[in-house]
Amino acid sequence: MKRRQFISLLGGAAATWPLAARAQTNRIRRIAVLMATSQDAGQAWVTAFREGLQKLGWTDGRNVRIDTRWGVEADQLRSYATELATSKPDVIVAGATSALAPLKQATQTIPIVFAQVSDPVQGGFVESVARPSGNITGFALYDVDRILNGEKPGDCRKV
């Protein structure tokens, strides 16, 4: 799946916030992003994410605020996950499995949308692909069921 397609899908998740709630308030929505990479390596991804949101009418600084944290060490990711969850954003975006794990521990109430997670069921993040349950959903890198049945990995699959 191409980066821009992925960002459009992720932006679509943000667009599902209740329209009535958006119409009733001018409150700036908050998105927290935890990237399990260095800022240099992940900057293109975050830039594409912001562009995808902007195409859907969400502009950073106008009607949404995006707080991004970058980390590669486990302790650093745990610290950032706690910091972001404590700040009570409307949604948290987890870039990679190593970012999702500490976020799952940090909150069970704030919606978390993950990306770049190879097997969210096996990792214990969601109950199943069909019914993720809880506060976590997102896009798996491949369809695990298809691979277990001997098929080749396809594009990302929405969980």
pLDDT tens track for 72-122: 999 999 999 999 999 999 999 999 999 999 999 999 999 999 988 888 888
Domain ranges of the chain: 3-158
pLDDT of 139 reads: 84
What average pLDDT is seen over the chain?
A: 83
Contact 34, 69 (CB under 8 A): yes
Distances (CA, A) of 13 to 53, 74, 148: 10, 27, 28
Mean per-residue pLDDT, 4-28: 59
Instruction: Kindly tell me if the per-residue pLDDT of 17 is higher than 70.
Output: no
pLDDT of 20 reads: 47
Length of the chain: 159
Q: Write the burial class of residue 70 (CB in 10 Å: 0-12 exposed, 13-18 middle, 19+ buried).
A: buried
Q: Which fold has domain 3-158?
A: Rossmann fold (3.40.50)
pLDDT of 116 reads: 83
The model's confidence at residue 149, banded by pLDDT at 50, 70 and 90, is: low
